Amino acid sequence: MDTQHKYLITVIGPTAIGKTAIAIEIAKHFNCEIISADSRQFFKEMTIGTAVPSADELAAAKHHFIQNISIFEEYTVGDFERDAIAKLDQLFATNNFAVLVGGSGLYIDAVLKGFDDFPEVEPAVRQQLIADFEEKGIEYLQHKLEELDPVHYNNVAKENPQRLMRALEVCIGSGKPYSSFLNIKKNSRNFTPIVIGLEAERQTMYNRINQRVDIMVNNGLIDEARELYPHKKLNALQTVGYRELFSFFDGEFTQDFALEEIKKNTRRFAKRQITWFKRTEGARWFDFKTAPATIINYIQDSL
């Protein structure tokens, strides 16, 4: 297949940095569509807490994979890779350009490089891990992974029970470390990626995050979380912005403390995003205030 003339313009960076706005400007300039790789924005029941693009933003450029599934559905990064590549094949049939944007590094990598091939694991292994997590807490999962796969333990998001359980089920189910399956097989891609990173000085980034959380609260985040509270055990809801409010509803936190925890945990999440994205090969980083025209000129020069 001709790989020369298909370009996937990819916008990466931490949360609240302005990726959506720049992706829309790029999509308008190249008259193309946007694939969202934000694993929290897939879910139609989660709008405010995931900062889904506004109606105006969605109208400005066609987006795919925003609020396309329910929190009650299982949707893995492997599913996303398959669906996103199929959608890109469709888009590239009539256009030489598409935009990929999001803050979920694993999901961006799955599209750009292909996802690693993991063995099938008996569902009973996952069920046991869920039971262990509920009974013994996240520390148990952390210690277990450190013991079974110290290499992956050093790279994993240690506060994310889903990632820990995913790695552990592969370790236990296959008898081999999760890290041994990484980077073995990569799928070929029929496009050339052009990767744009957005960054800001740390304090500026933290201020933007704090401000965004305040806006979410004003927009009704607490009511949204209260509606989702009965389903708090679902995978999709093990996420910053909801978890802390569930602790408030449980009587463990005051409301003010829960909101401060959301800000703190979002700042931590942003730090992890930067660490992940800074490893992206060939990415060109711009200050978040850079004029869209400057970024578009860089893309034009890269073609």
Q: Residues 242, 49: contact at Cβ < 8 Å? A: yes
Spatial separation of the C-alpha atoms in residues 13 and 33, rounded to whole Å: 19
Positive or negative: CA dihedral 146, 148, 154, 160? negative
20 labelled ligand-binding: yes
- CA-to-CA separations, 131 to 18, 41, 134, 137, 218, in angstroms, rounded: 39, 27, 5, 10, 37
19 labelled ligand-binding: yes
16 labelled ligand-binding: yes
SS3 string, 32-47, reads: CCEEECCCCCCECCCC
14 labelled ligand-binding: yes
230 labelled ligand-binding: no
Neighbours of 210 (CB within 10 A): 18
Spatial separation of the C-alpha atoms in residues 181 and 117, rounded to whole Å: 7
17 labelled ligand-binding: yes
Spatial separation of the C-alpha atoms in residues 200 and 115, rounded to whole Å: 29
Q: Which residues define the annotated binding site for ATP?
A: 13-20
Q: Which residues define the annotated binding site for substrate?
A: 15-20
Q: Which residues define the annotated binding site?
A: 13-20
